[in-house]
Structure 1
Amino acid sequence: MKKIQTYFKYLFASGLASATLSCSNTKYLKEGQMLYTGAEINIKNDSLSKQEEKDLKAALESNLTPKPNSTFLGLRPRLFFYNIAKEPKKEKGFNYWLKNKVGEKPVLLGDVDREFNKDIIQNYSENKGYFNAKATYDTVSKDKRAKVIYNVSPGARYLISDVRFLKDSTIINKEIQTLTDKTFLKKSNPFDLDVIKAERDRIDNGLKEKGFYYFSPDNIIVQADSTISKKHKVELIVKLKDNTPALATEQFSIDKVIVFPNYNIRDVKDGKYNVPMNADSLQKYAHEDIYVIDPEHKFKPKIFDRALYFKKGDLYNRTNHNLTLNRLISLGVFKFVKNQFVVSDSLQHKFDAYYLLTPRQIQSLRLEALGRTNSANYAGSELNLNWTHRNFFRGAEQFKASIYGAFDVQIGGPENANNIFRAGANAQLSIPRLVAPFRFNSSSAFVPRTNIILGYEFQNRTQNYTLNTFNASFGYVWKENARKEHDLKVIDITYVSPANVTPEYQAKADANIYLQRVVDKQLIFGPIYSYTYTNTMLQKPNTIYYKGTLDLAGNLTGLLMGANVDKGKQKNIFGIPFSQFAKIENDFRFYHKFTEKTSLATRAIAGVAYPYGNSDHIPFSRQFFSGGSNSVRAFRARTLGPGSFDPRTLTPGEFFDQSGDIKLELNAEYRANLYKFLNVAVFADAGNVWLVNEDPKRPGAKFSKEFLSEIAVGAGFGLRLDFSILILRLDLAMPLRVPYYEKNERWTFDRIKFGDPSWRKDNLILNIAIGYPF
């Protein structure tokens, strides 16, 4: 009974607040003004189906102007803020922000042009085949509020009785006739002006593939004849306009292909490109009919042979036109890519294809310095020196080299803390083709690449050990299209050599095999393949991102050598046991855009790594981790898990990073823009990591049927400062479910104490990061 009374109290309070807020918006209106609350469409037609009526009504409402003030749960909070804010004296300050950025100016009935909207309704209806559409309107007002009701009588919708493509003996008409089998105009379908426009574009695209470079959709006319005997039927006649330019009806082929790889925009004079048009003076590339103007020989001509899809004698087509431009851009060495076709023989209908390429800065040197802190009481800095050469062997090869140094020092916490110092160097050569014993022809707009990477890192954990890590890889990256990317490292080798292991750490490692594995020599080699699909670049309300990764280490070698650690047959290479495992990870993200300023982002991660053959565990560097600024943010980085293992059992100063062989994680984040660069978010994270095999030193770490009860949950809110060149993110989170508490006490709602300083210190985790978490 008490709960019911409480419910009614909240209900009454909500209703009172709603009524108060609603009334407060109209009291600011001047005499004679009325707040416009929107339009209502009434369809009067018995012949329409419910779905047709619903679609027509929604389309008509979306075309009406203006839109009423935005609402939330039946209220108009933005209008309320506009009304209560004082009139600002300047275009800045709090009042200006509250009134014009948070608030929203009232939309009045006087702002509505009802005759204009009536015309929109009738015109739109006619464009959709309701040729006899009529509309009227009424205005309904009460308590200084008004809405407009539009009554629409669309009449019967006209259907297509027949579609005729007029024939003649011209070349262009013959090509149009070959495109008719895929027409969008179908018998018995409703007349629709948007479909007719799409049909004109379809024919234009088809003709562009057949050499008609100068053709335009405006050269096509679709005539509608409604005078045929059948009632509410219309015949469509598709033909060329009588005034179509002669040039648009001719097929053009490629004569010469001329490339200017050192073109500069300053060479433009009087709106024309100041380039030599006499191809006889140009140097011809012997392998193909390509002329390259490169007196200083900065580029090997062969790169243009691979990128250009037009050759002498080819019939022009739009696909190869766009493909060539995209491939030139994806080489990464040209800042601007321009294309021009110049008629060279009007009688034979030939033109020369000119490619005007402006190079990017070939070499660049960049120094980066940054400071950072994290929730594990570490503060540090990092310095990076990066050198890039974008044309290393004159074939658009990109060479990147960097050296870096970093340190992380624990501020607070136990004495003799394990500070971390890192230094290293790496180099990458990216070749714009597949270097392979086989020939690979790609019709993608993106140039495939061969990547060769070498790297070394020195890491010193004071009071513990030093690690020397060497890495090398060779592989390929290629894209099927803008959405699908493949990354195959044919071989990826990592060698970890420990040094200077302190007696204190070794004593701990002797009692804990998990700590010993960190300082064991490690040799990991094998292929790694990842596949990425994304359509987040599209302007759609719903978009997705997926990345799947497969890591196979030592599999073939272990099979050939008969490795089996369980039977005492562990094999070595150069005296070092090599790792053998299979690892798969899936990262799926879904984004939903509510409005231009609000969206929902979600992510699901599932991964498993399984050791076998020559290994009974996954190398530490290839395991999964949880917690931190891009994971479950209510827990410090790499402290969550595995399973229900309780990290509080560790002695002060003991190795703190926790890892697992299995990972599950779910994230959800509601994002909204408040003001220009200021964005806010409310988020919830859930997840954990587990081990495949039992670890006596970490009870509860193994994956079992109880895994759902070991999921950690956290929530919080954040600020994002979007400065275009970077996004500074501050997320404040707290745990809602802690997996290492007693099983029936893991939810922590009853222990939240914002007023308790010690609780805030232990439970409020501040994450500072660059960019979005996902």
Structure 2
Amino acid sequence: MNKSSLVYFLLLAVLTSSCSNTRFLPKGELLYTGAKVKVEGKQTTKKENKALKSQLKAIVRPKPNSVFLGLRPKLYLYNLAGKPKKEKGWRYWLRNKVGEAPVLYSQVDLEYNKSVLQNFSENSGYFNAKTVADSTRKGKKVSAEYLVNPAKQYKIKEVKFPLDSSVIAKEIRNTKRRSLLKKEEGYSLERIKEERVRIDARLKEKGYFYFNPDYLKVQVDSTVADHQVDLIVKIKDEAPKLAETPYRINRIIVYPNYTIGADSIKTTIDSIKKYNDLTIIDAENLFKPRIFDRALYFKKNDLYNRTDHNLSLNRLVNLGTFKFVKNQFRVSDTVGNYLDAYYYLTPLPKKSLRLELLAKTNSANYTGTELNLNWSNRNTFRGAELLTISAFGGVEVQVSGQNNGFNVYRFGTEANLVWPRLVAPFKLNSPSGFVPKTKATLGYEFQNRTKLYSLQTFKGSFGYLWKENERKEHLFNVTEITYASPQNVTPLYQEQILANESLGKVIEKQLIFGPTYSYTYTNTLQKRKKSTFYYKGTIDLAGNVAGLVTGANSKKGDTIKIFDVPFSQFVKIENDFRHYYKLGPDSQLASRIIAGAGFAYGNSGEMPFIKQFFIGGTNSLRAFRARSIGPGSFDGASANTSTFLPDQSGDLKLEFNTEYRAKIYGLVKGALFLDAGNIWLLNENSEKPGAKFSKKFMNEIAVGAGAGLRFDFSFLILRTDLAFPLRKPYLADGDRWVLDKIDFGSGPWRRENLVFNLAIGYPF
């Protein structure tokens, strides 16, 4: 098909789709195609007109059918499906779930929209605005036009707060410094409503439990000056006495075994327990009282405040033991101006058994399935401790790559015990609603790499997890122990070790122990922000104390062994920084920088293989096979004579990724991406020429690009990426950029360079 034929075909498709969308309209109906809003004010600036136009356009109703590339595909599918005979089946799904019913002009109320635009303009300070509404018909399609002529906006001259001598008036005056109503800013009814909510929130921190924003009014005096207003904040005369009274906490009563829907709560003398300021009604003695004392912020005689109220509820939920958490405050019948606090807690089932079938992918391009069996006890020692014992088994295969046929089979078990407190000789008073936790882990895994070797790994750790707030999280493992031992090493792998000694490092016995710490900061949950960040920093200190005590020095031959295995001694630091920038409601630019370094010393001559850095694969440099790049300019593929591709590792890592993400249609999203990076060794390795880090490291950066689709099924995101290299660091210096060699029409080029990645979830 030549270019002119293609143009005619596309034009015919557009016209056919357009006609078919109006052909199915009910008799006498017209298709509504949307509204245009014009703001033309001679007394307002261009900036004010532009801002007002954007706000007005967003509130016009109804919204027309969605348009993609000038077409209305959802409406087309709705018409294509026709009227299904049953409320199920393929046609019903296509019409009602994928398709979109036509938006008819009969649904448009011009006068109503006109009044909405008029009211919004006036509520934004354009008191003398004028609005006109009209429509334009073309065939069976109609669009609406609204013309708004705003007068000069009224500005705030002064904000006056209550001046009387009452306690509540004084508290309101004390909030003036953080007022949302600013002098010289435009009048805004919406901002006045937000100010009432702000004042109410401040009063809630001062004991005014029964106050609410509706008890405040803001009077507007527009006579003070030309196009200026005074705003006068007052408490309404009808506000009840309860609302103007600050309250303190009297009794705190906890029902830890409450049943929702119960007619009454049976209380006996034996079921009542006193613990500090708490009264706990626990007839079955399910919980130790101290867990509630830790979770609840309120103490007797405390002034009520909303912060402690919410933090207490968040902590009770965060314990992970209760299905429902309900709270009530009632005016005390024994003490004036006091509240009694009641907490009704419905426990989750204490023990549970769960079977999971998982689909998974990893950075090495392996895709597979895993079966997990988990048993949980949510209140192991009556202190809301969570004990989880799991058994798992799975298989992973490499969908694309040189390691086809070298499948991975794995099975194992793991036990975790989590205490909802710090089991430590020190205290941590976290001001957040997240309960600090202590976690102990023991695990075993057996991994069989077909045709190569088997590896059994024992793991154990003990550490603490706490969050300062929803953005900052700390994880400190006092100790983390890993013992790895190889088995069933095949002759094939032994042969490869003779040709490449570094492969022997993979199956060496490993004993790694020491503290680790990671800090995470993220504000990505703040959906209104246009620019959000994620940062995770990790430090791993293995064998440092043991190395200092024993004086181990591998360079001098003073290697110390434990259980006949040399323990590893190193420092490893890794930083992961991500930035997300919203370009629109359905598009964003996501970027990531990873920088890491590992340094072995003392009892170790080099970093253990399982703690080194790797690059390439589905979540890394997607234009290169997993773990196939580097270190440096070393070409692992050409140096390898076996039928499988060994993993390349390094002591240093630098990686950069950026990805443009946008919604294409429905649950389908697209991405264009660019990846760059490499790994390096700190020391020379005669078997890997060009692997050592040097001042020319930027000349050894690998670069790749590609495009992909993301299918958002709500319960998982299925990701497909097709990528190709732009720069190959293992080529001769001067020939590393391969932009001029890109040839999508060439079969050999595609086979050698195009990399398809199938994964679950976003790469970052």
Is TM > 0.5 for Structure 1 vs Structure 2?
yes
Percent identity (aligned): 47
In structure 1, distance between residues paired with 2:47 and 2:564: 74
The aligned runs of 1:486-565 (5 Å cut-off) are 486-499=474-487, 501=489, 505-506=493-494, 508-540=496-528, 542=530, 543-558=532-547, 563-565=552-554
In structure 1, distance between residues paired with 2:761 and 2:317: 26
Deviation for aligned residue 1:125: 1.7
Specify the alignment match of 2:181 in structure 1. 185
Cα 1:631/1:669, change in 2 over 3 Å: farther
Amino acid paired to 1:183: S
Specify the alignment match of 1:45 in structure 2. 42
In structure 1, distance between residues paired with 2:395 and 2:22: 62
Alpha carbons 2:612, 2:651 under 8 Å: kept: yes
Deviation for aligned residue 1:208: 1.0
Specify the alignment match of 1:5 in structure 2. none
Specify the alignment match of 2:649 in structure 1. 659
Cα 1:18/1:119, change in 2 over 3 Å: farther
Cα 1:738/1:190, change in 2 over 3 Å: closer
In structure 2, distance between residues paired with 1:371 and 1:99: 31
Q: Does 1:717 align with 2:714?
A: no
Q: Pick one of 152, 159, 165 that aligns with 1:156.
A: 152
Q: Deviations over 1:639-677 (max 9, x none)?
A: 3443442424422345622222333141526353745xx
In structure 1, distance between residues paired with 2:57 and 2:464: 51
Q: Pick one of 205, 229, 234 that aligns with 2:229.
A: 234
Alpha carbons 2:380, 2:387 under 8 Å: kept: yes
Deviation for aligned residue 1:295: 1.8
Deviation for aligned residue 1:357: 0.7
Tell me, what secondary structure is at the counterpart of 2:332? strand
User: Which TM-score applies when normalising by structure 1?
Assistant: 0.85
Deviation for aligned residue 1:482: 1.4
Count of residue correspondences: 751
Specify the alignment match of 1:133 in structure 2. 129
Amino acid paired to 1:189: E
In structure 2, distance between residues paired with 1:414 and 1:736: 17
Alpha carbons 1:81, 1:102 under 8 Å: kept: no
Cα 1:168/1:12, change in 2 over 3 Å: farther
Alpha carbons 1:22, 1:76 under 8 Å: kept: no
Which deviates further from its counterpart, 128-137 or 607-616? 607-616
Alpha carbons 2:417, 2:441 under 8 Å: kept: yes
The aligned runs of 1:3-22 (5 Å cut-off) are 21=14
In structure 1, distance between residues paired with 2:96 and 2:529: 26
The aligned runs of 1:116-265 (5 Å cut-off) are 116-139=112-135, 147-228=143-224, 230-265=225-260
The aligned runs of 1:361-380 (5 Å cut-off) are 361-369=349-357
Cα 1:539/1:349, change in 2 over 3 Å: same
Tell me, what secondary structure is at the counterpart of 1:311? coil
In structure 2, distance between residues paired with 1:126 and 1:485: 46
Specify the alignment match of 2:61 in structure 1. 65
Deviation for aligned residue 1:359: 0.9
Which deviates further from its counterpart, 388-397 or 504-513? 504-513
Q: Deviations over 1:605-656 (max 9, x none)?
A: 3333233444332211112223444334454443344344242442234562
Specify the alignment match of 1:697 in structure 2. 687
Alpha carbons 2:17, 2:76 under 8 Å: kept: no
Cα 1:419/1:82, change in 2 over 3 Å: closer
In structure 1, distance between residues paired with 2:74 and 2:405: 55
Which deviates further from its counterpart, 637-646 or 371-380? 371-380
Tell me, what secondary structure is at the counterpart of 2:687? coil
Alpha carbons 2:589, 2:658 under 8 Å: kept: no
In structure 2, distance between residues paired with 1:673 and 1:346: 64
Cα 1:95/1:505, change in 2 over 3 Å: closer
In structure 1, distance between residues paired with 2:250 and 2:79: 70
Amino acid paired to 1:241: K
Cα 1:83/1:373, change in 2 over 3 Å: closer
Cα 1:748/1:616, change in 2 over 3 Å: farther
Deviation for aligned residue 1:596: 6.4
Amino acid paired to 1:238: V
Tell me, what secondary structure is at the counterpart of 1:537? coil
Deviation for aligned residue 1:234: 1.8
Alpha carbons 1:375, 1:636 under 8 Å: kept: no
Alpha carbons 2:402, 2:644 under 8 Å: kept: no
The aligned runs of 1:307-346 (5 Å cut-off) are 307-345=295-333
Alpha carbons 2:409, 2:448 under 8 Å: kept: yes
The aligned runs of 1:285-434 (5 Å cut-off) are 285-286=274-275, 288-345=276-333, 348-369=336-357, 382-407=370-395, 420-434=408-422
Q: Pick one of 681, 686, 689 that aligns with 2:675.
A: 686
Q: Pick one of 659, 663, 674 that aligns with 1:672.
A: 663
Q: Deviations over 1:458-490 (max 9, x none)?
A: 334465444342222221111111122111112
Which deviates further from its counterpart, 244-253 or 161-170? 161-170
Alpha carbons 2:720, 2:756 under 8 Å: kept: yes
The aligned runs of 1:581-730 (5 Å cut-off) are 581-591=570-580, 601-644=590-633, 645-653=635-643, 656-663=646-653, 664-668=655-659, 670=661, 672=663, 674-675=665-666, 678-684=667-673, 686-692=675-681, 693-704=683-694, 705=696, 707=698, 710-718=701-709, 720=711, 722=713, 724=714, 726-727=715-716, 729=718
Amino acid paired to 2:574: E
In structure 1, distance between residues paired with 2:358 and 2:699: 39
Cα 1:372/1:341, change in 2 over 3 Å: closer
Alpha carbons 2:719, 2:762 under 8 Å: kept: no
Amino acid paired to 2:568: S
Deviation for aligned residue 1:771: 3.8
User: Which TM-score applies when normalising by structure 2?
Assistant: 0.86
- Two-structure CA RMSD over aligned residues (Å): 4.0
Q: Pick one of 569, 574, 594 that aligns with 1:580.
A: 569
Specify the alignment match of 1:443 in structure 2. 431
Amino acid paired to 1:539: K
Tell me, what secondary structure is at the counterpart of 1:226? strand
Specify the alignment match of 2:265 in structure 1. 275
Which deviates further from its counterpart, 241-250 or 701-710? 701-710
Alpha carbons 1:673, 1:679 under 8 Å: kept: yes
